[in-house]
Structure 1
Amino acid sequence: MLLERAYAKINLTLDVLGRRPDGYHEVDMVMQSIDLSDLVWLDKRYDGRIVLETSAAHIPTDDRNLCVQAAKVFFRHTGIQSGVHINLEKNIPVAAGLAGGSSDAAAVLRGLNRLFGTERSLGEIAEMAAEIGSDVPFCVYGGTAIAQGRGERLTHIPHQCQMQVLLIHPRMFVSTGEIYQALEPGDFVSHTTSLVMKEALQKQDVDAIPKLVANRLQRVTFSLYPEVAQLADKVETVTRTRVHMSGSGPTLFCLAPTVQQANRMYNALRGIMRDVYMTHFVTNPPVGG
């Protein structure tokens, strides 16, 4: 049996440039891995079946699950005639804008590569990942990257900046497709913010980074789901810190330069809400468990 860790991500920037002819949107964003992870256990099966078990209720374990899709893509690309038992221990909130499902799928691809000794490079695995979902190629590598196109074109950002991240997850579902479809022409940009964020990360400018966080989907999510906007106002009042949204939401986050400051915010929020997580940037996620 083999273990792969699947790290969540947040968006430090998310700019939308416009709608593409294929129906997707052209994006330019900075994605950052954080130290909140699912555990993906893989074991060979010799009956050709792909079997998924998970600790999480209410998520599919059939072909609708990205882990199962990832295993099928891997076996198709490698020509391996085998099966796998996947045991998924969920810690990342589901449908939260944190790429939990995408990261799980990426972990399956990396893990199967190790389990079967196929020695595919991360670049080759990322090409497989692009068939599964827009965020999956980033999750194959983790760390920090500018993601462009649908999210599959990656430029990695090496940096040593350590920021603490406080996540606040409202227990509700937000439809990513609905959010993108509700974008208006005024939400599209011609100048992106990713290079400015890249510079701040590499300079380890912990004062500038929270001010540079920007998400073009936030206006739409707050408009369609006013309870998320109300929660953001509440968090900002309690923490006296700028509040941001990851992906299409609904998860909110605050950044802090020190563990002590993050602890103060965490303790204040734990008194008024349930799903609060204290974590931090992961700049070089380890491959494997």
Structure 2
Amino acid sequence: MDKIQLKALAKINLGLDVLRRREDGYHEVKMIMQTIGLHDDLEIRKTKTPGIQVKTNLYYLPTNENNLVYKAAKLLMDEFQIQDGVSIQLKKRIPVAAGMAGGSSDGAAVLWGINQMYGLGLSMQALMERGVRLGADVPYCIQRGTALAEGIGEKLSVLPPMPKCTILIAKPGISVSTKFVYENLHANDLKPEQHPDVDSMIEAMRQKDLGLLCSRMGNVLETVTIPAYPVINEIKRTMMDNGAIGSMMSGSGPTVFGIFDSPAAAKQAVKAVRAAKLAKQICLTTPYNVKR
């Protein structure tokens, strides 16, 4: 196999709780992660020239060892002493630095692709164990689907799939630093009512009750981001006013998603968000559920 084409899928957080800040500075989390259909495209080719070449459609993305795509390829090529070179073409569609694990998903796709191209024989679990060296979200992006993430995000448990729905993604024209959000969270001082009830969300998924799931959604990081970036709340309100049965910020933001049980309502909400000029990137998608 001399080339392989891959889709790197985005994720949203249906629930995101931070339990505490540990003494080592990391935060213990309890999150429900959901893969969605929005994706980046990657093509990996073998080259006769040694080394790793990365090309992308976004001029501002690094194409060296500062890109997870490069790091993922290097990790496996070094371990298995692969002498060939590889050329990786990355077409970004997932909003960058937006709480949707775009970079992590790209890295996960490259691990999977190199494993396939060179017949390394690594299992999904073996890839996930290597992926955590690249970032806490990478193992999940290899596994995909609906999952409970605990610890610092690396402990994963498969959950029942998300019920069918339409998902509206809207990223405002701002960037939010994950470091800023976590530094200003003060996790150990949160009140009980500020923590989302992740366990009741899991029960709603077991019951396949989309309405109950949406009524329980919560992201504790909104306590930091919404006061700092009110546009996030404006997008949420616009989605809810136009038929969303739930709306929330994904990850540390600033992307907001809305969940709709009516595709027609979702299309109307797209028009409303566009008319209000609240977002730079807008798209409609659906949950991506893995058949297990």
Q: Which of residues 195, 200, 203 is equivalent to 2:199?
A: 195
C-alpha contact (below 8 Å) 1:16/1:188 kept by paired residues? no
Residue from 202, 207, 212 that aligns with 1:208:
212
User: Could you tell me which of 251, 273, 285 is aligned with 1:279?
Assistant: 285
Counterparts of 1:29-108 in structure 2, within 5 Å, are 29-108=31-110
Instruction: Identify the residue that residue 113 of structure 1 maps to in structure 2.
Output: 115
Distance 1:27 1:111, change over 3 A: same
Counterpart of 1:154? 156
C-alpha distance in structure 2 between counterparts of 1:164 and 1:231, whole Å: 17
Q: Could you say which residue in structure 2 is the equivalent of 1:177?
A: 179
For residues 228 and 271 of structure 2, the distance between their equivalents in structure 1, rounded to whole angstroms, comes to 30
Measure the CA separation in 2 of the matches of 1:125 and 1:135: 13
CA contact (8 A) 2:100 2:251 kept: yes
- Residue type matched to 2:160 in 1? P
Distance apart, 1:229 and its partner CA: 3.2
- The residue aligned with 2:6 is 4
1:234-253 equivalences in 2 (<5 Å): 234-239=238-243, 242-253=246-257
**C-alpha separation in 1, matches of 2:266 and 2:146:** 21
Q: Deviations over 1:82-101 (max 9, x none)?
A: 32111001010111111100
Displacement of 1:278 in angstroms is 0.7
Task: Choose 182-191 or 104-113, whichever is displaced more.
Answer: 182-191
Query: Which digits, 9 at most, give the CA deviation of each residue in 1:50-98, with x for residues without a partner?
Result: 1100011211111111111111112233333332111001010111111
Q: Deviations over 1:154-213 (max 9, x none)?
A: 001132621211111101110001100111233376976333222212321011111111
Aligned residues: 286
| 8 A Cα contact 2:232 2:249, kept in partner | no
Report SS of the residue matched to 2:210.
Answer: coil
- Deviation digits for residues 34-58 of structure 1, max 9, x if unmatched? 1100011101123331110001121
Distance in 1 between residues matched to 2:237 and 2:202, nearest whole Å: 28
Residue pair 2:8, 2:105 contacting (<8 A) in 1 also: yes
Q: Taking structure 1 as the reference length, what is the TM-score of the superposition?
A: 0.92
- TM-score of the superposition, structure 2-length normalised? 0.91
Alignment of 1:133-152 (within 5 A): 133-152=135-154
The answer to whether residue 134 in structure 2 is matched with residue 128 in structure 1 is no
Task: Give the 3-state SS of the residue equivalent to 2:214 in structure 1.
Answer: helix
Q: d(CA) in 2 for partners of 1:249 and 1:162?
A: 24
CA distance in 1, matches of 2:45, 2:191: 45
